[in-house]
Protein backbone atom coordinates (compact mmCIF):
# COMPACT_ATOMS: atom_id res chain seq x y z
CA UNK A 1 0.00 0.00 0.00
CA UNK A 2 1.37 3.41 -0.97
CA UNK A 3 1.59 6.21 1.59
CA UNK A 4 0.04 9.36 0.13
CA UNK A 5 -0.17 11.40 3.36
CA UNK A 6 2.49 13.80 2.06
CA UNK A 7 0.96 14.06 -1.42
CA UNK A 8 -1.75 16.69 -1.85
CA UNK A 9 -3.97 16.99 -4.94
CA UNK A 10 -3.55 20.44 -6.50
CA UNK A 11 -6.85 21.94 -7.62
CA UNK A 12 -6.40 23.84 -10.89
CA UNK A 13 -8.22 27.12 -11.51
CA UNK A 14 -8.97 26.10 -15.11
CA UNK A 15 -11.75 23.56 -14.59
CA UNK A 16 -13.15 20.87 -16.83
CA UNK A 17 -16.33 22.91 -17.16
CA UNK A 18 -14.36 25.93 -18.40
CA UNK A 19 -12.61 23.75 -20.95
CA UNK A 20 -15.99 22.43 -22.12
CA UNK A 21 -17.18 25.99 -22.70
CA UNK A 22 -14.03 26.88 -24.64
CA UNK A 23 -14.20 23.68 -26.72
CA UNK A 24 -17.91 23.89 -27.41
CA UNK A 25 -18.40 20.25 -26.42
CA UNK A 26 -18.22 17.99 -23.39
CA UNK A 27 -15.62 15.35 -22.57
CA UNK A 28 -16.52 11.69 -22.40
CA UNK A 29 -14.91 8.28 -22.78
CA UNK A 30 -16.08 6.13 -25.69
CA UNK A 31 -14.97 2.67 -24.56
CA UNK A 32 -14.94 0.33 -27.59
CA UNK A 33 -14.83 -3.31 -26.50
CA UNK A 34 -15.00 -6.58 -28.42
CA UNK A 35 -12.91 -9.46 -29.70
CA UNK A 36 -9.71 -8.94 -31.63
CA UNK A 37 -10.76 -8.34 -35.23
CA UNK A 38 -14.19 -6.98 -34.32
CA UNK A 39 -13.34 -3.54 -35.72
CA UNK A 40 -12.79 -1.57 -32.51
CA UNK A 41 -9.72 0.36 -33.61
CA UNK A 42 -11.01 0.97 -37.13
CA UNK A 43 -14.26 2.36 -35.75
CA UNK A 44 -12.58 4.44 -33.04
CA UNK A 45 -10.33 6.15 -35.58
CA UNK A 46 -13.21 6.69 -38.00
CA UNK A 47 -15.29 8.31 -35.24
CA UNK A 48 -12.32 10.46 -34.27
CA UNK A 49 -11.93 11.58 -37.89
CA UNK A 50 -15.61 12.61 -37.99
CA UNK A 51 -15.36 14.45 -34.66
CA UNK A 52 -12.13 16.17 -35.68
CA UNK A 53 -13.82 17.52 -38.79
CA UNK A 54 -16.57 18.83 -36.53
CA UNK A 55 -13.97 20.77 -34.54
CA UNK A 56 -13.85 18.50 -31.48
CA UNK A 57 -10.78 17.82 -29.35
CA UNK A 58 -10.19 14.07 -29.39
CA UNK A 59 -7.64 11.34 -28.79
CA UNK A 60 -7.67 7.60 -29.52
CA UNK A 61 -6.01 5.19 -27.11
CA UNK A 62 -5.36 1.98 -29.04
CA UNK A 63 -4.58 -1.26 -27.23
CA UNK A 64 -1.44 -2.14 -29.18
CA UNK A 65 -0.09 1.42 -29.09
CA UNK A 66 -0.48 1.69 -25.31
CA UNK A 67 1.32 -1.63 -24.82
CA UNK A 68 4.31 -0.20 -26.70
CA UNK A 69 4.72 2.51 -24.08
CA UNK A 70 2.75 3.00 -20.89
CA UNK A 71 2.08 -0.73 -20.44
CA UNK A 72 5.17 -2.17 -22.14
CA UNK A 73 6.09 -3.94 -18.91
CA UNK A 74 2.85 -5.94 -18.79
CA UNK A 75 2.06 -9.37 -20.21
CA UNK A 76 -1.33 -10.98 -20.78
CA UNK A 77 -2.05 -12.87 -17.58
CA UNK A 78 -5.42 -12.05 -15.96
CA UNK A 79 -3.67 -9.91 -13.35
CA UNK A 80 -1.64 -8.02 -15.94
CA UNK A 81 -4.69 -7.45 -18.12
CA UNK A 82 -6.45 -5.93 -15.11
CA UNK A 83 -3.48 -3.64 -14.42
CA UNK A 84 -3.38 -2.66 -18.10
CA UNK A 85 -7.01 -1.54 -17.96
CA UNK A 86 -6.48 0.22 -14.60
CA UNK A 87 -3.69 2.32 -16.07
CA UNK A 88 -5.82 3.15 -19.10
CA UNK A 89 -8.64 4.26 -16.83
CA UNK A 90 -6.37 6.60 -14.88
CA UNK A 91 -5.02 8.08 -18.09
CA UNK A 92 -8.48 8.55 -19.56
CA UNK A 93 -9.60 10.31 -16.38
CA UNK A 94 -6.89 12.93 -16.90
CA UNK A 95 -7.82 13.45 -20.55
CA UNK A 96 -11.49 13.93 -19.61
CA UNK A 97 -10.44 16.55 -17.07
CA UNK A 98 -8.59 18.19 -19.96
CA UNK A 99 -11.85 18.47 -21.90
CA UNK A 100 -10.97 15.82 -24.48
CA UNK A 101 -13.29 13.19 -25.99
CA UNK A 102 -11.23 10.05 -25.27
CA UNK A 103 -11.79 7.03 -27.49
CA UNK A 104 -10.39 3.75 -26.17
CA UNK A 105 -10.13 0.58 -28.26
CA UNK A 106 -9.31 -2.35 -25.98
CA UNK A 107 -10.53 -5.93 -25.92
CA UNK A 108 -10.98 -5.47 -22.16
CA UNK A 109 -12.48 -8.97 -21.83
CA UNK A 110 -13.63 -8.83 -18.20
CA UNK A 111 -16.78 -7.03 -17.07
CA UNK A 112 -15.20 -6.33 -13.70
CA UNK A 113 -12.31 -4.41 -15.31
CA UNK A 114 -14.67 -2.33 -17.45
CA UNK A 115 -16.85 -1.65 -14.41
CA UNK A 116 -13.80 -0.46 -12.50
CA UNK A 117 -13.09 2.14 -15.18
CA UNK A 118 -16.74 3.20 -15.19
CA UNK A 119 -16.57 3.79 -11.42
CA UNK A 120 -13.20 5.54 -11.66
CA UNK A 121 -14.19 8.16 -14.22
CA UNK A 122 -17.89 8.29 -13.34
CA UNK A 123 -20.74 6.44 -15.06
CA UNK A 124 -21.92 9.63 -16.75
CA UNK A 125 -18.54 9.90 -18.52
CA UNK A 126 -18.21 6.25 -19.58
CA UNK A 127 -20.01 5.14 -22.76
CA UNK A 128 -19.49 1.43 -23.39
CA UNK A 129 -19.70 0.54 -27.08
CA UNK A 130 -19.78 -3.17 -27.83
CA UNK A 131 -18.47 -4.11 -31.27
CA UNK A 132 -20.30 -7.42 -31.51
CA UNK A 133 -18.79 -9.73 -34.08
CA UNK A 134 -18.90 -13.56 -34.27
CA UNK A 135 -15.63 -15.27 -33.45
CA UNK A 136 -15.74 -17.01 -36.84
CA UNK A 137 -15.77 -13.65 -38.64
CA UNK A 138 -12.97 -12.30 -36.46
CA UNK A 139 -10.91 -15.38 -37.28
CA UNK A 140 -11.60 -14.95 -40.99
CA UNK A 141 -10.31 -11.40 -40.81
CA UNK A 142 -7.31 -12.30 -38.61
CA UNK A 143 -5.47 -9.20 -39.80
CA UNK A 144 -2.47 -9.82 -37.54
CA UNK A 145 -2.42 -13.62 -37.83
CA UNK A 146 -2.88 -13.96 -34.09
CA UNK A 147 -5.86 -16.32 -34.18
CA UNK A 148 -3.89 -18.78 -36.31
CA UNK A 149 -1.02 -18.67 -33.84
CA UNK A 150 -3.41 -19.06 -30.89
CA UNK A 151 -5.11 -22.06 -32.51
CA UNK A 152 -1.67 -23.58 -33.04
CA UNK A 153 -0.88 -23.12 -29.35
CA UNK A 154 1.83 -20.53 -30.01
CA UNK A 155 -0.03 -17.85 -28.05
CA UNK A 156 -1.48 -18.54 -24.61
CA UNK A 157 -4.25 -16.60 -22.84
CA UNK A 158 -5.67 -15.42 -26.17
CA UNK A 159 -9.15 -13.95 -25.80
CA UNK A 160 -11.82 -15.97 -27.57
CA UNK A 161 -9.59 -19.03 -27.91
CA UNK A 162 -7.84 -19.85 -24.63
CA UNK A 163 -9.12 -16.96 -22.50
CA UNK A 164 -12.71 -15.78 -21.95
CA UNK A 165 -14.47 -12.70 -23.27
CA UNK A 166 -17.38 -11.49 -21.15
CA UNK A 167 -19.90 -9.64 -23.29
CA UNK A 168 -21.27 -6.36 -21.92
CA UNK A 169 -24.65 -6.90 -20.30
CA UNK A 170 -25.93 -3.35 -20.71
CA UNK A 171 -23.75 -1.50 -23.23
CA UNK A 172 -24.63 2.08 -24.08
CA UNK A 173 -24.44 1.06 -27.72
CA UNK A 174 -24.17 -2.34 -29.41
CA UNK A 175 -23.00 -2.48 -33.00
CA UNK A 176 -23.05 -5.50 -35.29
CA UNK A 177 -19.68 -4.85 -36.86
CA UNK A 178 -19.97 -7.93 -39.08
CA UNK A 179 -23.15 -6.72 -40.81
CA UNK A 180 -23.24 -2.92 -40.49
CA UNK A 181 -20.96 -0.73 -42.59
CA UNK A 182 -18.29 1.41 -41.00
CA UNK A 183 -20.22 4.53 -41.99
CA UNK A 184 -23.40 3.20 -40.34
CA UNK A 185 -21.50 2.44 -37.14
CA UNK A 186 -19.89 5.89 -37.09
CA UNK A 187 -23.29 7.56 -37.51
CA UNK A 188 -24.69 5.58 -34.56
CA UNK A 189 -21.82 6.66 -32.31
CA UNK A 190 -22.24 10.31 -33.32
CA UNK A 191 -25.99 10.05 -32.64
CA UNK A 192 -25.24 8.64 -29.17
CA UNK A 193 -22.99 11.60 -28.42
CA UNK A 194 -25.71 14.00 -29.53
CA UNK A 195 -28.34 12.26 -27.41
CA UNK A 196 -26.08 12.44 -24.36
CA UNK A 197 -25.46 16.14 -24.95
CA UNK A 198 -21.70 15.75 -25.42
CA UNK A 199 -21.82 17.41 -28.85
CA UNK A 200 -24.43 19.59 -30.52
CA UNK A 201 -26.40 18.58 -33.61
Q: How many CB atoms lie within 10 A of CB 57?
A: 18
The catalytic residues are: 108
Asked if residue 38 has pLDDT above 90, the reply is yes
Q: At what angle are helices 111-121 and 78-97 packed, to 10 degrees?
A: 20
- The topology (CATH level 3) of 16-135+165-195 is Rossmann fold (3.40.50)
Can you give the pLDDT at residue 6? 66
Can you give the pLDDT at residue 124? 94
Q: How many CB atoms lie within 10 A of CB 95?
A: 20
Q: How many CB atoms lie within 10 A of CB 59?
A: 14
Average pLDDT, the chain: 89
Query: Helix (H, G, I), strand (E, B), or coil: what is residue 121?
Result: helix
Asked if residue 7 has pLDDT above 70, the reply is no
Summarize the confidence of residues 73-86 as an average pLDDT: 83
126-132/58-62 β-pairing:
unpaired
The residues that bridge with 29 in the sheet, in sequence order, are: 102, 126
pLDDT tens track for 48-75: 999 999 999 999 998 667 776 777 787 7
pTM for the predicted model, two decimal places? 0.88
Q: Cα(157)–Cα(108) distance, rounded to whole angstroms?
A: 13
Summarize the confidence of residues 78-98 as an average pLDDT: 90
Domain boundaries of the chain, sorted by first residue: 16-135+165-195
| Those residues with Cβ within 8 angstroms of residue 33's Cβ, 6 or more apart along the chain or in another chain | 40, 106, 107, 108, 114, 128, 129, 130, 131, 168, 171
Asked if residue 97 has pLDDT above 70, the reply is yes
Can you give the pLDDT at residue 162? 86
Summarize the confidence of residues 120-143 as an average pLDDT: 93
pLDDT band at 184 (very low <50, low <70, confident <90, very high): very high
The overall longest dimension of the chain from CA atoms, in Å, is: 55
Of 6-10, 15-19, 25-29, 127-131, the range with the lowest mean pLDDT is 6-10
Amino acid sequence: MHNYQNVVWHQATVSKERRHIMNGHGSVNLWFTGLSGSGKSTLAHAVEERLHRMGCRTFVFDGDNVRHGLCADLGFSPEERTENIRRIGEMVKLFLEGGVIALTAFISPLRSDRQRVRELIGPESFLEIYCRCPLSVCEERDVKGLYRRARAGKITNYTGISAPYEEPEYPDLQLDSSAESLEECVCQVILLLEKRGVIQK
